[in-house]
Each structure stands twice: as structure tokens, then as C-alpha cells.
Amino acid sequence: MKYTESAPKLFMNTGTKFHRSLIFAMGVVKYSCARANATLGILDQQIGKAIEQASMELMEGKLDDKIVLDVFQTGSGTGLNMNVNEVLAERSSQISGLKVHPNDHVNMSQSSNDTVPTAIRIGAVKQVQDKLIPALEGIISSLRETGDKYSSVIKSGRTHLRDAMPVTLGQELHAYADALSHDLNMLKTVLEYVKEIPLGGTAVGTGVNSHPKFRETVITVINQVTGLGFTLANPFRGLRFLTDLLTLSGIMRTIAVELYRMAQDFRLMFSGPMTAIGEIDLPTQEEIAGSSIMPGKTNPVTAEASMLIAAQVVGLDQANQFASNLGEFELAMGVPLIGQNVVTQVDLLSEGLNKFSSLLVKGMVPNQEKMKRYAESSPALVTVISPIVGYDKASQIGKMLNRGMSIREALKELGFSDKQIDDILDLSKLIKPGIQTK
């Protein structure tokens, strides 16, 4: 394997190996090309069968240890393609007893410029379908179910981290679910764009050195192997631009930002228990020590880990923006990097969403009495009850609240009965549209 042995002298040796999904996708490409070439009568049937078998082994992970070239290599992905060609040629020769050539046979009707851009799209689509979509569907379902469960649990709203009008815990959880539901719709839409692959464009998009029917034949085989419904891209666009993958990355950045926001809100609600908000308990977070020096301390470890994941996904998206700019004329030049980054983003987000759903959303236990007390203590309520009790009394109540009293305590001190106070502080009227009157 001459190329694979020589290339590390010129490429980087960072230890960053290609993601399993991308190696799988390269196996799909080589399998499909061998089948198409043999079907079209331009590749010896026995050699074609041997390449198919070797490619299947690559797809199954049996040859992963031989895919050794670093992600940080030539920007077209030629290093990955040649590494795969040589590994498959060697294995196909063993299988068939014939001399299988990495370029003449394994790479027939192909160029690195169309195989690797195709593989990174196949890998991305498979990862999103297998991992990210189920993770999103799972957390949306959890948020909706938990939101329904706590639809009548009233708590203080907060704007600018200051007390505001009441909301329900259910309303907050449904807000997260709605945001992620929109993300899921956008993800499914952009996936159709990513499914357009440029295989058969060979070096510059013209398809030179490939059979005239190669593209339509090979796409059929790819869909038979993957079942994912790929279509043929305009090859000139598919080789030149990676902006379909950048759009996918951008949607994952959006999901990451929303995951971060959810984690931050859960973290704040869990803060305390005595000197901060302390509105919810997260029993799952008590399973490990929160401090090496303070016995009994518990921390929102899953929320914080989710925030780190979000930060990494956003950072990878920034790298993808840069990588998408690389290249001139007929070639994108950030192919291996953006391919690796996108499937890594899928891994990170899927793990973060799954853990957040199972441990935080499903595991949360609201402190309902404290939530109600906070809601009744919000100075924002003074404005709403002013038309009911009158401006002067509302001003007195405002001053009492500044001294640390709750509105209930202030009203009682002003002579209101418990029944009158319950009527005035019917918070259920304040969590929906309406105007309070006497």
C-alpha cells in the first residue's frame, strides 16, 4: 500500500481518525461502484464480486484498523479515498486470488473529488436518521408529556432574572418542545438536500472516465444498500459547494443553542437548595457526589455536561463555516474536515438530548409549594391587583413587599380575609389572557 505508507510523511499525524460512519459510507460507495461497473460490463465480474465482498467487510467495521490516514490531510479527501482503495484492493486480491488494482479496479469510474464528497453526505444522512432524529423525537415527547403533567403548577415568571408575572411549569416545558419541534422539521427538510450526491461527476463534474449510464446505475445500488433515498445532485454544484452540509450544521447549532438554554434554566431552577431558587429537585443528580470536599453536595451534572456539548457543537459549526469557504472553481477543499465535524455534531447532540430527556425532563420533581410562594411574592403582581384593591393600598403593598413580605401577608395585614385574599390571588387567572377588574 504505497500511497498509504507514504502519505503520513506529508499529512498531519494528530491521531484524529475518521469516524466509523464515514468509513461505513466509503464502503457503501466502493461496493456500489463495483456493482455498477460490473453490471455495465466494464469491470470483470469476479473482480467486481471480490471488491463487493471486501467493501462489505469495510462497512461492517472489519477493516477499520487499516484506515489509518489522519482527518487533517489533503482537502479533497484524496488521502482517505486512496487509503480505502489500497485496503480494498489488497483484501479483494486475497478473496479472488487475482491481482486487483486500487486505481484501475477499485476506483473505476470514480475520482477522490466525487467519492469522498458523496461519502460524507451518506455518513451524515445515516447518522441523522439513525441517531439525531430519534433523539429529538424522544425529548420533544418527554417535554410534552412532562409539560402536560405539570400544566397546573404555577410558578413565578422571570425576565432579566427578575420577578415577573406567573407562568406554569407546563408552559415553560411546552415552549422548549415547540422550539425543538421546529428544529426537527427543519432537519428533515435539509436532509433531502444533503441526500443529493455528486457521485459520477469524477474529477470536475463532467463524468469523464465513467460509463454514460454509471450515475443512474450506481445511485440505484446505493439506495438498495442504504434504503435512505439518495438522489443525483448537479455534480458541478456537489463538487464545488458543501453548503448543504453547512446548512445541516447550522440547524444542529440551533439545536445546541436551545439545549444550552434548557440546561441553563434547569440549572437555575435546581440552584440552592437554601440560598437560591430551589424550585425543582433532580433525584438522578444525587447518584454521584457533587464535591470532593463538601459531603452531601449535589450538582446539576447532566445539565452542565449538556452545556459543554452545546458549546462544542457551536464551535464545530464555526469550523464548518470556515471549511465551507475553502476551495476554488471546481473543487471544495474542506471535505474531510466538514465530513468529520458534522457526524461528530450528530453524536454529541444525540447523546446530550437523550440524557437530558431521560435524567432531567423525566426525572424533575417540582417543589410546588415553593413555586407558589414565589409566584405570590412577585412584586409584578402589585400592578395587576391595583385595580382590585385600589391604587393607595397597592402602593402600601409594594412597600411591604420591599420589606420582604409576601403579597398574601401584606393583604392580611391590611385587613383582607383569607377568602378575599384567595380571590385576589387566584393565580390561575394570570396565566392566560384577561384583564383583572374589581
Active site residues: 160, 291
Q: Looking at the DSSP assignment, which residues form a beta bridge with residue 306? A: none
Cβ neighbours for 233, distance < 8 A, ≥ 6 positions apart:
196, 197, 198
Compute the residue count for the chain.
Answer: 438
Contact 309, 348 (CB under 8 A): yes
Smallest CA-to-CA distance from 80 within 88, 93, 69, 89 is with 69
- At position 269, the amino acid (one-letter code) is M
Beta strand 231-232 with 196-197: parallel, antiparallel or unpaired?
A: parallel
Question: How many of the other CB atoms lie within 10 Å of CB of 392?
Answer: 9
**Residue 378: helix, strand or coil by DSSP?**
coil
Contact 433, 384 (CB under 8 A): no
What are the start-end ranges of the H helices in 97-234? 112-127, 133-149, 169-194, 214-226
Question: How many of the other CB atoms lie within 10 Å of CB of 119?
Answer: 30
Q: How far apart are the first and last CA of the chain?
A: 87
Q: What gap in Å lies between CA 86 and CA 82, rounded to an integer?
A: 6
Sign of the torsion angle spanned by Cα atoms 351, 356, 357, 360: positive
Give the burial class of 129: count Cβ atoms within 10 A of its Cβ; 0-12 exposed, 13-18 middle, 19 or more buried.
Answer: middle
